[in-house]
Homo-oligomer: A and B are copies of this chain.
Amino acid sequence: MPAKDTAASSTPLSGADLWSSSLASHVPFLIARARALMVRRCNQALRPLGLNVRTFSLLWLTTEPVPATQRELSDFLDLDPSQVVALIDDLEAQGLVERRANPADRRARQTVATEKGRRLCGTAQAAVDRATEEVFAGLTKGEQAQLTSLLLGINRQKPSRA
């Protein structure tokens, strides 16, 4: 288990200070590590609700006013369409979302949250917010907003479809 909360390990061993290594300020490494921390905490907070970060994100999107097609969801979430199928199956089996026929195009069905799904989404958002704050404990509110804006810059610069 990667989360080391043993609070023991008093032995310095080799004394290598890896945080002073050059890798420690390498962004691909930092972003991967921060994401691992974040996802682990959030999944932990979501598990009692029967969700994880992926089903949670998907459920969230199905509460939006304009229902999206699965293709749009897969583009936005950066998941393969086949993965979206499995995630919606999961949510549908729990009665949290419904697949509705789209009169305009019978291929492109719309996925919409049920009333139960909307309620659970609200609860889940609160739980995830608490988990996020823990991970963000080292940053001020201003820094958190700054981080959000920078990450948006990375994510949006790559047009999902040009």
Interface residues of A (CB under 8 A from B): 1-2, 4, 6-9, 13-19, 21-39, 42, 53, 57, 60-61, 64, 66-69, 71-80, 102, 105, 108, 110, 128, 132, 135-139, 143-144, 146-148, 150-158, 160-162
Q: Chain B contacts of A69 at CB under 8 A?
A: 13-14, 16
Q: What DSSP secondary structure best describes chain A's contact surface?
A: helix
CA distance A148 to B135 in the complex (A): 16
Interface centre among A6, A16, A154, by most chain B C-beta atoms within 10 angstroms, is A154
User: Nearest chain-B residue to A29 (Cβ)?
Assistant: B57
Contact status of A153 and B132, CB under 8 A, knowing A18-B72, A75-B4 = no
